[in-house]
Structures are given as C-alpha cells and as structure tokens.
Chain A
Amino acid sequence: MTLLHVDVRSKVYGNGCCAIENLAFDAQPGEFVALVGPSGAGKTTLLNLISGLDLQFQGAISLRANKGQLGEPKISFMFQEPRLMPWLTVVQNLELVWPLAQRNNSVKSLTEMLALVGLAGCEQLFPGQLSGGMQRRVALLRAFIVEPDLLLMDEPFQSLDAPTAQQLRMVLQELWQRTRPTVLFVTHSLREAISLADRILFLSGQPSRVIMDTPIAMSHPRSIEDQDVQTMHSMLLDIHPQLLVGQISPSKDPA
C-alpha cells in the first residue's frame, strides 16, 4: 500500500517561470527516498507542496496514515536551517511541537531522547548557546519526536563540516530505524543520497521532473565512506556523467 502519492502536473512561480512539470512518484511506508537534482530544480518547492505550505499547483498529492492509525497522517519537516525558536530553551522547543497527550504516552522521556541524540544536559540551554551541529541535532529530534508518518528533509546537513554532517547522518539513521517513517530527503550530494536512501529519485533541471528512479539495495546503517557507497557513486556517474546536472545519457541507458 502506498503512503504518499505525488503527481504534480505543473507548478508555476509567481514570475511565470515553470518550476515543476509532470513530476510523479509514489513512496511506500517506511521507505527512505532521496531526491537528487541540480540546484534550482525546485526541490524545496516540491517539499513545500507536499507539506501543504504551498497550495498553488496543478495536480494531486495524497497522503494517508499508516494502517491501523486513526486520524490524519502526520507530516514533519526538517529545514535547511535549524529554525528553532531562539527565545525557547531546547526543551521548550521540543515541547512546542510535541502534543501533551503524545508526550504522556511516550515510552521515553525528553531527557532520554536528548541523550539519544547526544544532547544530554542541554535541556535548559537556548539555541544561541549551541553550536550549529548541536542546533541541528535539536532540529532532527524535533522532526522525529512527533512520530510522523512522513518526514520531509530539505538538505538538512548542508553547510556543516564533513565530520559533523557524518555524525548527524548516523543519528538520523538511528532515529529513523526506531520509528521508520517514510522519509523524503532532498540533497544535491549523490554520496549522501547513496549513504542514506533505499531509493534515489533523480530530478532534471527546470522544469523539474523525475528522470531516473534507482533502488539502493544495501543494508543500513551506512557511512558515506563505505566502499559500497563509493562504488555505487562512481558506477552511476560512469553510466550517466551528466546525472547531477539533471540529464541522463540516452545512448548508454539500459532501456
């Protein structure tokens, strides 16, 4: 059964520029899907459409809750920037999005959750007192704490140094394996996509559509440095040298 069904026939920006055209894909429950495309390919726009932040488009996007769950499916979003409320402490930031009923039913307390992402003892600090990497840990935990059906992530580890980004990818995989939401992970780094996803959707330049759908059959968790990840990366780029600018090579296409 499908959790998310996306069929955007057309999304036009206010300036008349066509951002997305005939972009369609499905995502299954518990699937980790990476969206890779050149910058300006409308990836952020696509996430805004799926999350309901932007309602101006032609087409259909449907989302349904996991089997056995009542009510509306829950969406969560991790943005490019941490976007924590600077005037709320770490705990207050998390409690803000975490409904009281759910909090009371939770097996783990906030303190335990914070320890899980390596933020033990940071409860009462304000975001301004945390490093960029730590702020992202809070944002990551905030995204997972609501136990979403669908988690949208928009290049969340961009602008971090390599080791910090790697640590955060590890935390992400750990959190993801606990509750297994469907994840849509936007990135322009193919290595990052291979190291995280079950499946990669490659997008073209504007107007954006899906040009290739590649499953990644490797066990989790993976690191960006793994040999398998490196091999896959060079293999994909050997077949399609123009892949990251949004083009596949028709001559070498197996189809």
Chain B
Amino acid sequence: MQNTLNFGRHFAHSSWLRIGPLLVLVGLWQLLAVALQSKTLPPPVAVISLLWQELVAGELLMHLGMTLTRVAISFAAAMLVGVGVGIAMGTSRVLDRLLDTFLILALNIPALVTIILCYVWLGLSETAAVLAVTLNKIPMVAISLREGARAVDKNLLQVAKVFRLSRRDSFFKVYLPQLMPYLFGAARNGLAIIWKIVLVVELLGRSNGVGFQIGNYFHFFDITGILAYTLAFALVIFVVESLALRPLEVHLNRWRV
C-alpha cells in the first residue's frame, strides 16, 4: 500500500505526466500526415526543420521579438490599469454603478472593432497597435479583480486599522495578498488572450511580428510555415509559464499548507 502510494506520488511528480500526452499527439500527427500525404498537413518533422532553419538563418527571432515586445507592453499596461479599475470598482459602490455599463460594453465589443477603430483614428502606428490590444484586455482584468476586491476579508483590514499600519503595509501586506489568486487568474487569461489579439493586430496593420509572418505564409498557402511559427510561439509560452508564472505562484502560495 505504502509502496503504491509512493509510486503514485513519484509518477505524478515526474515530468512524464506532462510530456507524455504531447508525444502521443505528435506521434498521431506524424501517422496522419504520412497516411494522407496532403500538402495541407505537413509532417511534424518538416515543421521542426523549417523552424530550425528560420531560427538559424531566417527572421524568426526578429519577428518573435517584435511580437513579444508588443505582448509585454500591452500586458503590463492592461494589468496595471485593469487592477486599478477593478479594485476601485470592488471597493466603492458608487464607482461600481458608474462604470458597470461601460465595463459590460467594453467586455463585449469584438476585438476586431477596437483594432480597426484604433488604426483608423490613430493611423497604422505602433501606438495604435499596442493601445488596441491593451483596451481589449483591460475589462477582463478589471472584472476579475473586482470579484477579488469584493471578497476581501474585512476582519484582516480591521487588524491593519487598529494597529495603525502605514498605507503601504496595509496595501502590500494585508490587502494585495488576498487578491493574488485573482491576479494570477487574470495574468494567465491575460497572456493567452493578448497573444491572440496581438497576432490579429499585426496581421491587419504591422509589417513585422509573428502575425504579419503568418499572414504572409497564408497568402502562399504555406502550412508548414504557419505551423513552424505557431510552434515557436508555443515554446515561448511554455518557457514563460514554467520559468516565470509557475515558480512565482509556488513561491507566493507556500503558506497554503
């Protein structure tokens, strides 16, 4: 019994549990590609070799870098503004009533509309591109943080008040830690959505970036190219998740025993 348990735990911890399904998927893909022999479904080997060529000799790094920069800027801006708006709305009933309609509206306006309007009003510029992405993301962050601010434990805030903690300590050591689950939720969702929108923005009005490249490959019906760029993208996400988000989350959650 003890042994099976240990084995189970060992197995759950091993990275095979993460990588295994991925290998199965790639295997199936390879089989299907060989069986169909279709131009629209290149085998994984072709995709990986193109990815390698682009990485070593091509412009992949430049395009990826441009996209990442846009993602980083709009992610940071959207989180900052969204967190502020969300906390304000979750704390003040008046602000909540005032802004609620706009929040619902902003949340439901299609990303494409925001992007087109930004490009039309501000021109096909970098500012317009980043602004369009940021505007799309802010309401989602705000709505998640509003829930968090509403669920804040008033008892702990009373402790801060009675012991006359500074505003800084009250915010960073009593208030903000309670919002962490909501912040992480918003960050994960945020990153995922922002990636997607940035690509559309690049496709519509930029002359570099992964979105622009995918657009090019689309014109030539080059599926291998599209998949190679998608793969590069997926790799970056895994790196961000496993080197930044997950370790940070584990560190911040170490008190949950």
Contacts and interface: CB of A to CB of B under 8 A. Distances in A.
Interface stretch (B39-47, B157-165, B202-210, B241-249): B157-165
A47 B163 CA distance: 14
B173 A85 contact: yes
B173 A146 contact: no
Contacts of A235: none
B162 A128 contact: no
B162 A51 contact: yes
B177 A85 contact: yes
Contacts of B156: 83, 85
A89 B158 CA distance: 19
B37 interface: no
Contact of B257 (A76, A96, A128, A146): A128
Given A53-B162, A126-B255, A79 B169 contact: no
Which of A83, A87, A89: most chain B Cβ within 10 A? Answer: A87
A96 B162 contact: no
Given A51-B162, A79-B159, A97-B165, A129 B257 contact: yes
Contact of A126 (B155, B252, B257): B257
A78 to B, nearest CB: 10
Given A51-B162, A76-B162, A87 B155 contact: no
A186 to B, nearest CB: 15
A75 B162 contact: yes
B256 interface: yes
Contacts of A128: 255-257
A174 interface: no
Contacts of B173: 85, 88, 92, 96
B174 interface: yes
Contact of A83 (B159, B177, B255, B257): B159
Given A126-B257, A128-B256, A129-B257, A77 B174 contact: no
Interface string B78-98: 000000000000000000000
B257 A53 contact: no
Contacts of B169: 96
Contacts of A142: 163
B165 A96 contact: yes
A72 to B, nearest CB: 9
A40 interface: no
Interface string B139-170: 00000000000000001101101110100010
A81 interface: yes
8 A-B pairs with least C-beta separation = A97-B163, A126-B255, A77-B162, A87-B177, A128-B257, A87-B255, A83-B159, A51-B162
Interface of B: 155-156, 158-159, 161-163, 165, 169, 173-174, 177, 180, 252, 254-257
Given A79-B159, A87-B252, 13 more contacts: A52-B161, A53-B162, A75-B162, A79-B155, A83-B156, A87-B255, A96-B169, A96-B173, A97-B163, A97-B165, A126-B257, A128-B257, A129-B257
